[in-house]
Structure 1
């Protein structure tokens, strides 16, 4: 016998979408300039509700104007900071959080896309396998060369299969389609296997 609580738990969650010509991966930071009314409304709504929005790769269309066709898998973007640029436009710094799969998408009157989503399973803590040791070395070289926030990361992070995979997916000069394919892989070790194939 099902209860009202069971029904609420099984109902799909909705998430406002911000389609972009980029792929946001978990843990990565992204800067945005927001000026379209539909996205200003989305940001205000996120602020009121204390939640994020979804970033999906645009498959067909543009970032401005008519609603674009976007990939079904995306990443929740949590707002870390906001401000204004020299033109007075709203600027955001967001951080990639949970991955999701958009099952259905509807378009509001203001052009904002809202998806019924299912959250993907979070990455389990798994130790880097020996066959992926080269990838950890490569990531350390990238961090040593370019610095940034990851220069302060604990060394133990280099033993975390999921963290190494996401940071390489973020930092390597991959094509959008390649990065999107990595985003859609659930298993951290399989993700590292794919990265090994993508290396020159």
Structure 2
């Protein structure tokens, strides 16, 4: 399942949301450990792992997370009107955590193995109703979704964007992230929502 023979160390950013490859992730950074992480990522042109919290909270103390997450890179940053640092990250490759630890500053670190990207897969005709509805929803949501490059014929892209914007419990989103086949993700999602129905 992994294309790496050995694990690599990355910093983790436990969140209450699931990030998919290609997806946008706007964040407001206020904890010192994450301000330092952002500074390091920008200086060294590296990223961080986004993992869904299984138990615990985003800010403050430790949080138990799921094992599968998405590597993110910062694509934009700015100082917010309230003085906090705002960043926009974009999802890259999926990974699986092999081993976890905490740095002295409280930052979560993990050895991870990269998960193989699914082979390119065209959107099956049974889901032909999804791209127009998805395009309208992304436009209506505004930035950063409205300016995303569209790939309406790519099953992985359609599945990822749907999962990101649908108001589903995080555990369903995590399940989709852990599925390797994008068409399987779409089939899992179909009973959870209805699009294009009056």
Report deviation, 1:30. 1.6
In 1, Cα distance between equivalents of 2:111 and 2:85: 27
Q: 2:33 matched to which residue of 1?
A: 38
Higher helix fraction (1 or 2): 1
In 2, Cα distance between equivalents of 1:40 and 1:74: 21
Q: TM-score, normalised by structure 2?
A: 0.87
Q: Quick check: 1:196 aligned with 2:180? A: no
Report deviation, 1:110. 0.9
Q: Secondary structure at the match of 2:152?
A: helix
Residue ranges of structure 2 left out of the alignment (5+ in a row): none
Q: Quick check: 1:81 aligned with 2:61? A: no
Q: Secondary structure at the match of 1:138?
A: helix
- Cα deviation code 1:33-71 (max 9, x no counterpart): 112121122112212321110111111111111111111
Q: 2:103 matched to which residue of 1?
A: 108
Report deviation, 1:137. 4.3
Report deviation, 1:141. 4.2
In 1, Cα distance between equivalents of 2:152 and 2:82: 41
Which residues of 2 match residues 122-133 of structure 1 at below 5 A?
Answer: 122-133=117-128
Q: 1:62 matched to which residue of 2?
A: 57
Residue ranges of structure 1 left out of the alignment (5+ in a row): 1-8
Q: Quick check: 1:23 aligned with 2:30? A: no
For the aligned residue pairs, the C-alpha RMSD in angstroms reads 2.0
In 2, Cα distance between equivalents of 1:178 and 1:129: 22
How many aligned residue pairs are there? 190
Larger radius of gyration: 1
Picking from 173, 180, 184, the partner of 1:179 is 173
Report deviation, 1:142. 2.4
Contact 2:139 2:146 in 1 (8 A): no
Runs of 4+ in 1 over 6 A off after TM superposition: none
Q: Secondary structure at the match of 2:119?
A: coil
